[in-house]
Amino acid sequence: MVPPTPTARAAALLIGNELLSGKIRDENGTALARFLRRRGIALREMTVVPDEVDTIASALRRLTTGAGLVFTSGGVGPTHDDVTLAGVASAFARPLEHNDEMAAALRRSYGTAANEAVLRMARLPAGTHMLQDANWPVLRLDVSAASDALSRVYVLPGVPALFRAKLDALAAMPDELPNSRQWVLATVETTLDESRIAAALDHVVARHPPVEIGSYPRWIPGPDGRLRQHVRITIEARRDDRELVDSARNELLQRLSALDARAVSAT
């Protein structure tokens, strides 16, 4: 039986000592955030934890209380520090069980190199769904959070290319993930300093509460070699609030142009 569609709120659990030590720069959190945004799913939290079973389990239990979709990244390989599946099993009091289907997939992929270490990856938390794509299954658990609401936990690899491939596989599966595609975005660019535009931003934000407005400065060299501030302002909301996005953009343009029309542009 297909479980009911969870609420379109998501959380990410990024797993790995290498992320916390700075040995590896995370790419998967950004890839997931962009993927979910395109589908109209709100990413509410991103948490990074070490390769520790109890820490992974505790984080998962907490994340599933506030999100209908939880994505893990990392810790699913054949080495000693790949403990994500054990952490998932512990989080939801499910035993790790040998899965024949997963073992067959491992043998197809690894061929004669499918040794004991490789086949340990076939020990999955009881009740794991194996969602098939062309090359490798995507692992999903359906769990009940403390609120009794259904959450789906997707266990994805940590290698960025593989992680993105799994997201693509999920996107291609009909009805697997919500897909409202209902975001409307407008942008305003200005060379005015953030301190000069703060009052205008405060006013527009207060008048358009459903609209998300973000201000992102960067510094670029000017003709004289001195760094100059360039601010990109994003104005976005659900498609139903398109008129509010247009209103917020137009009002912000008007207020910033009153400060210096030459320093402002919009898309």
186-205: average pLDDT: 94
Judge whether residue 3 has pLDDT over 80: no
The reported pTM is 0.80
The reported pLDDT for the residue numbered 183 is 79
The reported pLDDT for the residue numbered 7 is 47
All CATH 3.30.70 domain ranges of the chain, comma separated, are 183-266
For the domain bounded by 183-266, which CATH number is listed? 3.30.70
CATH for 9-171, options being 1.20.120.160, 3.40.980.10, 3.30.360.10, 2.30.29.30: 3.40.980.10
Is residue 75 within 8 Å of residue 82, measured between CB atoms?
Answer: yes
Coil, strand or helix: which one is 266?
A: strand
| Percent of all residues in the chain with a pLDDT value above 70, rounded to a whole number | 94
Sequential DSSP letters for 21-45: HTSS---HHHHHHHHHHHTT-EEEE
If pLDDT is split at 50, 70 and 90, which confidence band does 255 have? very high
If pLDDT is split at 50, 70 and 90, which confidence band does 1 have? very low
Phi/psi at 103 (nearest 5 deg)?
A: -60, -40
For residue 186, how many C-alpha atoms fall within 13 Å in the half-sphere facing its CB?
22
The reported pLDDT for the residue numbered 187 is 94
CA torsion, points 177, 180, 184, 185, in degrees to nearest 10?
Answer: 0
Q: In which residue are the tokens 């790419």 written?
A: 27
Is residue 241 within 8 Å of residue 184, measured between CB atoms?
Answer: yes
Judge whether residue 6 has pLDDT over 70: no
Q: What are the residue ranges of helices labelled H in 52-99?
A: 53-63, 84-91
All CATH 3.40.980.10 domain ranges of the chain, comma separated, are 9-171
The reported pLDDT for the residue numbered 175 is 86
Mean pLDDT of the chain: 90
Q: Per-residue pLDDT tens for 226-236?
A: 888 899 999 99
The reported pLDDT for the residue numbered 239 is 79
Judge whether residue 132 has pLDDT over 80: no
Q: Which stretches does DSSP call E strand in the chain?
A: 9-15, 42-49, 69-73, 96-98, 123-125, 129-131, 138-144, 150-156, 183-190, 212-221, 227-238, 264-266
Cβ neighbours around 124 below 10 Å, total: 25
With b for 16 or more beta-carbon neighbours within 10 A and e for fewer, the 44-79 pattern comes to eebbbbbbbbeebbebbebbbebbbbbbbbbbbbee
Judge whether residue 238 has pLDDT over 70: yes
The reported pLDDT for the residue numbered 221 is 84
The reported pLDDT for the residue numbered 134 is 53
The reported pLDDT for the residue numbered 5 is 46
Is residue 142 within 8 Å of residue 150, measured between CB atoms?
Answer: yes
Pair type for strands 227-238 and 150-156: unpaired
Q: Per-residue pLDDT tens for 104-118?
A: 888 988 888 889 998
Phi/psi at 71 (nearest 5 deg)?
A: -115, 125
8-state DSSP, 261:
G
Higher pLDDT, 148 or 247: 247
Judge whether residue 2 has pLDDT over 50: no
